[in-house]
Structure 1
Amino acid sequence: MLQKRSIPGICSEAISISMSALIYNMKQPGIAVVNKEKLLALDGLRGWMALWVWVTHVVTMATLPLVKTHGIGMVLANGQYAVCVFILLSGFVISNSATTHSWGDFIIRRAFRLFPAYLICLAISVAIVGLSIELIEATPWPMMRIDDRLKYLHDSLEHFWPHLGLHVLLLHGLVPDSVLSSTSYAFMGQAWSLTLEWQYYLIAGLLMKLSFKSKHLGFELAVLIVLLMMAKVFTQPSFIASYLWLFYIGHLFWKHFDQHELWRYPVYFVISLAMGPKALAILLFGLIVYSSFHDGRLKHFFENRVSLFLGKISYGFYCVHMISIFLTGYVLIVVLKLDSRVLYAVLLISLSLVFSLVLSALLNRTVEQPMIRYARKITASKPR
């Protein structure tokens, strides 16, 4: 269905929905004000996006013939939309912390949120690089994107120490691929977006100061256009300039989270169509935010118990899911020597999901939550 709808058609529909919402809001002066710092639906959304990323990875490792640029593969084998939603979420939820705490306290809190679970998963990913290569080479059926995976795994070993040093600091996205091959995906492929997050945290305060110089739409669009132009020039996905425009839009959604300023959202969306299908993430994110205003069905779905559980463990799930996929696949192919493609696909998908859920819940309970509490304890209790 996705490929049959034109971008202009989607754009037109989005504008129509948003304008109708604006008219409705203007007719409802007594509508309740929603606390933008406590939108539970965004937690649920984060959980489902993490699950979407897992789907895109597991179906290709299960040797399902899905192409990320065609048909159903545009959804099931293409995680770029989910990652774009993650970026919008970060731009939105980080804005409050970045504007109410000192830069030092903000960085400490974000570091304790990001690094502990990540470093554990990085260490395991490094330890199983050889195993991962053996699994891919031993898989007897054609696998989509097999050459890409083998390349970044072999490059991880060939340039081991430079890759490891940069990954430990989460700064690998700052190094061009032309300088260090597979810099974005070495060891732990999904960590390309984590270095992106860390780079954003380091400069978020400056972006906030620039943003609050003016609330005028023309100023915001001028900044957005500059960021879009930067993204066209700097195309390495793990480098902040390639996605800073999307972080900025997430921040603008937070900045104008007011029932009388929702009309700005479709304007940001239309301008961002210059980036192609990635802009569709803005539409999805905007619909969730809009639903949160009016107690809509989307809000209730993303606030149900399953969604909130997925949201709670989403970061650990994102970090650990490839480890689960590789280890499960290794046992099935190399140890048990399964020769049924269908059975392999069914077992890999089902078992790796359970494995990922269990490990991420364990990470959340024993690592993430204690580190979050500790960071709050050592940073200033009073906002600046």
Structure 2
Amino acid sequence: MTARPPTDRPRLRELDLLRFVAAFLVVLHHYVGRISGWGVPNHHHMPGIAQIAHFGNLGVDLFFLISGFVILMSAWGRGVGDFAVSRTVRIFPCYWFGAAIALAGYALVGETPMQSHSPLRPFLPNLTMLQTGIGMPNMEVVYWTLWVELHFYVLIAMLVWRGITYERCVAFMAIWLLLGLFAQESNFTVLTTALMPPWTPYFVAGMAFYLIHRFGPNLLMWLIVSGCWALAVPYRVGTVNPELAWPQVWDAVITGGVTFAFLIMAMVATHQFDMVRWRGFTLLGALTYPLYLVHETVGRLLDEALGPWLDRWTLLVVSFAAALAAAYLVHRFVEEPAQRWLRPRMKTALVRLRQARLPLARNQNPSSATAEIVR
């Protein structure tokens, strides 16, 4: 079971749609919270939608489930270098631009990132996506999820290095889940930091859903998924922010939301959405990442510029429309061109790295050897 995925594998457009839904929930959560005020006491400012936006951060849970599915799918049959190149090309160009416009946005409105006295000080560390590791604040609040994703990429890279098979995937998933719990129980900070137990159930369940989708369901996979769900619910219920605390409501809605996300992914895994073929969902999926990265910057600027002049509902609509437009422009004129420029150069660097492991024939110069490998 080490064969490469088929090159004509149909695109799972249902995942594009679900990614966009997850991003929409996060954007709604941030925009309504910013415009009407955080917490239950402010629900009356935007009744109806405020109660829904209160729990929009559950979009992150859906993101992590999808990530477990998609990253395992994309890593299957690849080497570590190919996997690293694909992830670098995919996530960094748009991220760099997002961090740059966040810096410009803070300068325009005279604000600073949370826990920072200046937007310039955390900017350079943020460009590496490693800012949390050195204790620097995020340029935008949503960047914390990218740090969690980076943990997942490193762990998956270890599996890729060993060689992905069905059996090794199952062993990897079980060891990751259990080792993280043991580390948390023993307060082993290093392992707890590396294995991120509160979010592990989502990534592991996502991987299990991909194995079900690719190889078919079986009792072991459903037991793993069920165990992940049983851990994810109490973890998530316990992460309530005091600003979002909602007695007698929070626990029930979070439990229902996490459960619904697992059920939706179970339907994807068992091909219940195979009829979804509308190409428009592919565009929505493409806009998800830039929308996720830039929406806070766009919302902050519009709130400063238009907040005194527009009513709350109009400002919400205008902000969301502007964020979507900005996401499209970033995707079309930044992300796509940057990826086209970066991809071949990263692949060339990878070829040269691999070339260094090969014996160089006498009288053969390095550039001609590189050309030969590329051919």
If the length of structure 1 is used for normalisation, what is the TM-score?
0.68
Question: Match for residue 218 of structure 2?
Answer: 261
1:159 shift after superposition: 8.1
Q: Which residue of 2 aligns with 1:169?
A: 128
Query: Which residue of 1 is the match for residue 297 of structure 2?
Result: 323
Aligned residues: 312
2:138 paired residue among 177, 186, 209: 186
- Cα distance change on mapping 1:205 and 1:74 into 2, 3 Å: farther
Structure 2 unaligned runs (5+)?
1-7, 237-254, 352-372
**Alignment check: 8 A CA contact 1:227 1:245 kept:** no
Equivalent residue in structure 1 for 2:233, among 263, 276, 283: 276
Amino acid at match of 1:60: G
Between 369-378 and 355-364, report the one with greater CA deviation: 369-378
- More displaced stretch, 317-326 vs 274-283: 274-283
- Structure 2 match to 1:80: 57
Instruction: Quote the Cα distance in structure 2 between the aligned partners of 1:202 and 1:218.
Output: 17
The equivalent residue for 1:127 is 104
1:170 deviation in Å?
0.2
Q: 1:350 Cα deviation (Å)?
A: 0.8
Aligned counterpart for 2:311 among listed residues 335, 338, 344: 344
Computed over aligned residues only, the root mean square deviation of the Cα atoms, in angstroms, reads 3.8
Contact between 2:94 and 2:330, CA under 8 Å: does it hold in 1? yes
Q: 1:133 to 1:217 in 2, by over 3 A?
A: same
Q: Which residue of 1 aligns with 2:329?
A: 362
How big is the shift at 1:235? 9.8
Q: Alignment partner for residue 42 of structure 1, among 7, 12, 15? A: 15
Q: 1:241 aligns with which of 195, 217, 229?
A: 195
Could you tell me which residue of structure 2 aligns to residue 4 of structure 1?
none
Q: Which amino acid aligns with 1:123?
A: A
Amino acid aligned to 1:268: V
Q: 2:69 touches 2:207 (CA, 8 Å); kept in 1?
A: yes
Structure 1 CA distance for aligned equivalents of residues 166 and 268 of structure 2: 29
8 A Cα contact 2:132 2:138, kept in partner: no
Instruction: Select the residue among 162, 172, 177 that pairs with 1:224.
Output: 177
Residue in structure 2 matched with residue 205 of structure 1 by the alignment: 157
Q: How far did 1:355 drift? A: 0.8
CA change 1:198–1:313 in 2 (3 A) is same
Q: 1:126 to 1:217 in 2, by over 3 A?
A: closer
Aligned-residue offset at 1:315: 0.5
Query: Percent of pairs identical after alignment?
Result: 24
Q: Which residue of 2 aligns with 1:94?
A: 71
Match of 2:264 among 254, 278, 287: 287
- 1:314 equivalent to 2:288? Answer yes
Give the direction of change, closer, same or farther, for the CA distance of 1:227–1:303 in structure 2 (3 Å limit): farther
Cα drift, residue 358 of structure 1: 0.9
CA distance in 2, matches of 1:121, 1:220: 33
Verify the 8 A CA contact 1:317 1:356 in the aligned structure 2.
yes
Deviation at 1:49, TM superposition (A): 0.7
Partners of 1:347 and 1:217 in 2: CA distance: 49
Which residue matches 2:117? Answer: 157
Q: Paired residue for 1:251? A: 207
Cα pair 1:82 1:281 within 8 Å, conserved: no
Judged with a 3 Å threshold, the aligned counterparts in structure 2 of structure 1 residues 88 and 271 are, in CA distance, closer, same or farther, namely closer
**Aligned residues of 2:205 and 2:225 also touching (Cα < 8 A):** yes
- What secondary structure, in the 3-state scheme, does the structure 2 residue paired with 1:313 have? helix
Distance of 1:115 and 1:172 partners within structure 2: 14
Aligned amino acid, residue 93 of structure 1: V
Determine if contact 2:202/2:232 at 8 Å carries over to the other structure.
Answer: no
Q: Which residue of 2 aligns with 1:16?
A: none
Q: Alpha-carbon deviation of 1:53? A: 0.7
1:352 is matched by which residue type in structure 2?
A: S
CA distance, structure 1, for counterparts of residue 115 and residue 20 of structure 2: 31
2:93: which partner in 1?
116
Q: Output the CA distance in 2 between the equivalents of 1:81 and 1:289.
A: 17
- Aligned partner (choices 55, 58, 77) of residue 28 of structure 2: 55
Cα shift at 1:190: 0.9
Tell me the equivalent position of 2:370: none
Distance change (3 Å), C-alpha of 1:234 and 1:74: farther
CA distance 1:92–1:123, shift in 2 (3 Å) = same
Q: Can you list the C-alpha shifts for 1:22-47, whole angstroms capped at 9, x where unaligned?
A: xxxxxxxxxxxxx9763221111101
Equivalent position SS for 1:100: coil
Structure of higher RCO (CA pairs closer than 8 Å, 6+ residues apart): 1
Q: Is the 8 A contact 1:170 1:195 kept in 2?
A: yes
Q: 1:66 to 1:37 in 2, by over 3 A?
A: farther
Matched residue SS, 1:101:
coil
- Cα deviation, residue 314, structure 1: 0.5
1:143 equivalent in structure 2:
none
How far has the Cα of 1:324 moved from its partner? 1.1
Q: What is the TM-score when the length of structure 2 is the normalising length?
A: 0.69
Query: Structure 1 residues 103, 350: CA separation in 2 closer, same or farther (over 3 Å shift)?
Result: same
